[in-house]
Structure 1
Amino acid sequence: MLTDLWHSWAERGAQLGPDDWTAPTRLPGWSVQALFAHVAPDPELFGQLRGALTEEPAAVTSGAEVLRIYNRPGGVAHVAAPAIEEQARQAAGALSPKELVDRFAVEGPEAFAAFADVPPTAVVAHPILGTVTFGALGEIAVMEATVHLLDLIAAVGGPPPPAAALEATRGLLAGVPDPVAFIESAAGRTDEQVLPVMR
């Protein structure tokens, strides 16, 4: 699913013109090129991920749990947001559109293919989460690529994301809030606000 999403990003990027790359997105201060730079898979990161595999038990086992931790008051989604935005801008300035497209089309998929032997239950040491399953990180990667693909579509148009990615992302986001609060809100039984679940 993740490589399908990456190929979708690559196909869209290959069709963009110069004005499209500099177009603003609905994320304040983010151009299309910054959005590509933020989502683009980094082959070096996969090398670090391989080195972080551990035999320790996992403290976090689902993408929904990752989002709860990241988005709690004072969590990384709030504290690190300015740094993440600046990093995206710097990467956008350092990588050409072709290099960004290649990250999605070639480099990322090739690096990810090396993890074919790693099961979703494998555990990774993580600087924020402590220990987390490889599958949970994969769920977050799919969600990020899907949500930001919707940001890209809102900016420059194009077909919707793959149906499987939309379904997985919807399921992940619905799993973040308390289940009773979410059901009652979705069913119109309460005015309690449970959305959004992430920054």
Structure 2
Amino acid sequence: MNSQDDPVRALLAETWASWAERGAALTAEEWERSTRLPGWSVRELYAHVAPVPEMFSGLRAAVLDGRPEVVDGAGILRAYNRPGGIAHTAADQVAEAAEPAVLVARFGVEGPAALDGLADLPPGVAVAHPLLGSVTVGALGEVALMEATVHLLDLIAAVGGPPPAEGALDFTRALLARVADPVDFIEAATGRSAAAVLPVIR
């Protein structure tokens, strides 16, 4: 199996390429511009989303036998966003903002190379996870694509530019819908309930 056989990996690589292309065109003023995320500049937003190659290379050593405890991205997001989950406890942490050239290289060179290095790991392979016990490689990829897409909208709101790729938007919309309770989501979406379904993640 290679990354071309996995639509999530292909979309993630495409989305990272978009981050790299946009970052290469930013001015010094735009890198320091505030975003709609309180306390985060564009550079800090890039630092938050930028792939860290060491995290990808570590996945191979974390491969486990047996069935994983979490099998999809929606499961990871539900766990992260439950009361007391990491989405709440670490919400205000800001990644160290590296120099723009370093951040652009993570999206355009280092991250894609690390992703290619895992192309032989099928999405269903289980890996150890420090908070969730074990998850699939595919679930981690789904969350990475969602994060890259949601925060790309934050970037566009700050500095403008074309929208994310349609495939990334479609995937992210579907993933976020799967996080909610299905009955609650369907009834709210069809006007049959006034239940507070959204937001599904912090």
TM-score by length of 2: 0.93
**In the alignment, is residue 119 of structure 1 matched against residue 129 of structure 2?**
no
Aligned residue pairs total 192
Consecutive unaligned residues in structure 1, runs of 5 or more: none
Deviation at 1:29, TM superposition (A): 0.1
Deviation at 1:62, TM superposition (A): 0.9
**In the alignment, is residue 53 of structure 1 matched against residue 50 of structure 2?**
no
Q: Which ranges of 4 or more aligned residues in structure 1 deviate by more than 4 Å?
A: none
Contact 1:56 1:131 in 2 (8 A): no
Which residue in the other structure is 2:136 paired with?
133
| 3-state secondary structure, aligned to 1:175 | helix
Deviation at 1:44, TM superposition (A): 1.0
Deviation at 1:56, TM superposition (A): 3.2
CA RMSD of aligned residues (A): 0.8
Deviation at 1:49, TM superposition (A): 1.5
Aligned with residue 78 of structure 2, among 52, 68, 71: 68
| 3-state secondary structure, aligned to 2:37 | coil
Deviation at 1:5, TM superposition (A): 0.4
Give runs of aligned pairs for residues 67-106 of structure 1, distance below 5 A. 67-82=77-92, 84-85=93-94, 88=95, 91-92=96-97, 95-106=98-109
Give runs of aligned pairs for residues 1-199 of structure 1, distance below 5 A. 1-82=11-92, 84-85=93-94, 88=95, 91-92=96-97, 95-199=98-202
| 3-state secondary structure, aligned to 1:78 | helix
Deviation at 1:50, TM superposition (A): 1.6
Which residue in the other structure is 2:6 paired with?
none
Name the % identity.
Answer: 61
Deviation at 1:57, TM superposition (A): 1.7
CA distance in 2, matches of 1:66, 1:107: 25
| 3-state secondary structure, aligned to 2:21 | helix
Q: Give the letter for the 2:91 counterpart.
A: A
| 3-state secondary structure, aligned to 1:105 | helix
TM-score by length of 1: 0.95
Contact 1:32 1:155 in 2 (8 A): yes
CA distance in 2, matches of 1:168, 1:129: 23
CA distance in 1, matches of 2:14, 2:106: 13
CA distance in 2, matches of 1:173, 1:9: 21
Map Cα deviations across residues 152-172 of structure 1 (whole Å, 9 max, x no partner).
Answer: 000000000011000000000
